[in-house]
Structure 1
Amino acid sequence: MTSTEYDLDWLISVDDHVLEPPNVWQDRIAANDRDRAPKLVRDGDAETWVYENRSVPTNGLSAVVGKSAEEFSPEAVTYAEMRPGCYDAAARVEDMNEAGILASLSFPSFPRFCGQIFYEAQDKDLALRCVQAYNDWMIDEWCGSAPGRFIPLVIMPLWDTTLAVTEIERTAAKGARGLAFSENFEPLGLPTINDPNRYWDPVLQAASDNELVVCMHVGSSSTLPNIASDAPFMANLAWGATRTSGTMLQWLFSDHFAKLPNLKIALSEGNIGWIPYFLERAEQVYNKQRFWAARGVTYEGHAASDVPMDIDLRQRFRDHVFGCFIEDESGIAAIDVIGENNIMIETDYPHSDSTWPNCIEVAKKQIAHLPEATQYKILRGNAEKLFRFTPAVPPTRAGA
């Protein structure tokens, strides 16, 4: 505990991941459908999730905690080879205590970041029940096992917005605080947020009405960054934040924030160092191009006739958009431009970008030069306010 009025020894991570234990669907789907529900199957030394015609191994980079970087590999791993905190809530809390993580929001793994696996399923009736089963497990079991330590994030049936609204309302009543959404639905074959038929309007209205934060994880478009067809993998991975900038720009230039003034979005695992540049560039483009666009002139099929003439892009950002980072000294250096109220910390447990077990130390080192009130906001205050979340009383850390 620090000697000041702010407890800077704990953080809230708004982007972690859970490797679902084998019982999630097997315990919650009716017996006559259980064999068709997702199940973990062992075949010799191999282990895969089996669902419909799919066999999905667990990528080794999704479960690296406890290993050195020299041991990282994308080769498939079994649950027996993982640290128990990857899939067991009680073990996760122990790991959180070790690393100074007071609370955690976890994205799904087998369903993928916004439930794409169920959207791709053939039997949509069963898929809906699988979505519901996952959400019940997330709220009742994963989060319910340790009150005040986990922020409930839910998925939805992407293929039917009426069903999605029903699921949003159902889970919000159970305590959900975030809704997993996609950074870009187009690669999934779904309408984008710019859809002229307003496909996502009911979902976003429901999220706003129920005060669920719309959380978009990088990679939730089911695509990898791709500079060029033969670009090195690590170059593509380093370039990945550009997709998050594109997500932010789409939302800022859409009319969703104008229509839903209480809607909030979080850009998960996208870093923040790029935000000042793209806000500046967005203003330059808007100030110079809005007049012809507002007249209805098109340019190679682009521009609409209803471009507002009075958008304050920076105010839209401040009111609606939250950037999330793991390690980003460039972003912290530009905090005056981004805004101290629009930044949250992540630890990415148990993925290969994770700072575990040194999460609080790494976070504090990046922000130590800032006023303590600002440090507190970044470490936990902004997350508590945004997700309407009251964390548990911090436990006593070993060696404290």
Structure 2
Amino acid sequence: MITRRDHRIDFYRGLALIFIFWDHIPQNPLANFTLRNFGFSDAAEIFVFLAGYAAVLAYGKIAQRSGYLIAGVRILRRAWVLYVVHIFLLVLLMGIIFVANSHVETRDMIQEMNLNYFLLDPQQALVDELLLRFKPNLMDPLPLYIVLLAGLPLVLPLLVKHTGHAVGLSLAVYGLTQWFGWNIPAHGNGLWYFNPYAWQALFVLGGAAALYSQQPRAADPRPLYRQPLFVACATVAALSVPIALSWKWPAVHDAFMPQWISERLYPISKTNLAPVRLVHFLALAYCMAKLVPTGAWVQHWLVQKVAMMGRYSLEIFCLSVVLAPLADMANALADDRLAMQLATAIAGVGLMLALGQWLEWNKRLTNPLPTATGVVSNA
């Protein structure tokens, strides 16, 4: 039975949204403190994994209550909403970029955002956008989520009833993708930046983790340092830190990184979710689950505000996509670059928090009693 919601998930989703926003602002000094600087994975893995976690937790409740057909219809309706939002967001983003490019003389922001295709062939670009084949920079996670969510009605019954089989099938597709290079074509001769055949594994693993979290089980009485799985995961997470930090100083990296490790480690593909990225994220997630259990800390004011952003991840993500190029434009035009970079990064998070608070108040006004559908609306 799916009965409980882990409030840590909302917090981590909100934190991932902050990291994604900071990472999307070029030369943002606060981006030096996001996850991508301390390991092989980054906030994208958090976002997709927890999207699967939240979706299975939410729609699994509906399936238990009303059946898989109703749950499937609700999922597809949600995917359609995301698709419409994606189209609207593209139009808004293009307008912002074209205006910004006319003010920033030192850079071609249209080219940086991969919008040249729209200028060269707007008619075909619009068709490709409707087919999810044309995706400007910053917007890649949303089409991925649309595809993963649209496929969930097929996966959910197997995932709930036979979790191990669903995970095995998902990992098999992931492995074949790594071997044969499967991907979905994009405009021109391109491919999807976030390969759905690969990233679906993380989405399904997130759903499996949600189901596992609902099962009653006895806590391991052994201290963490005597639990082999935790020790292995902690070792992977710890070893990745100096390697990731060394990327900032290529000379240091080349001097201390053994050749045989480099040959096996690189390239670390984000498009195909390289195995080292997947293993690193899963190890990090397991360590966090063990080291940061749920408790009174989730009631802290700041934690609740970040978790509030996580509950409205779609709306907050869309706002961050709009804010990132605006922050980039303001930074490029500022005389005191560092001060403006810090101001826009912090102000952007403040606006994201403000939107989350407004959405929370609006939800309380329209639906004062908490229901399961409140969870589904933000899956």
TM-score for both structures, normalised by structure 2 = 0.29
Instruction: Name the structure, 1 or 2, with higher relative contact order (CA <8 Å, separation 6+).
Output: 2
> Which structure has greater strand proportion?
1
TM-score for both structures, normalised by structure 1 = 0.28
> Which structure has greater helix proportion?
2
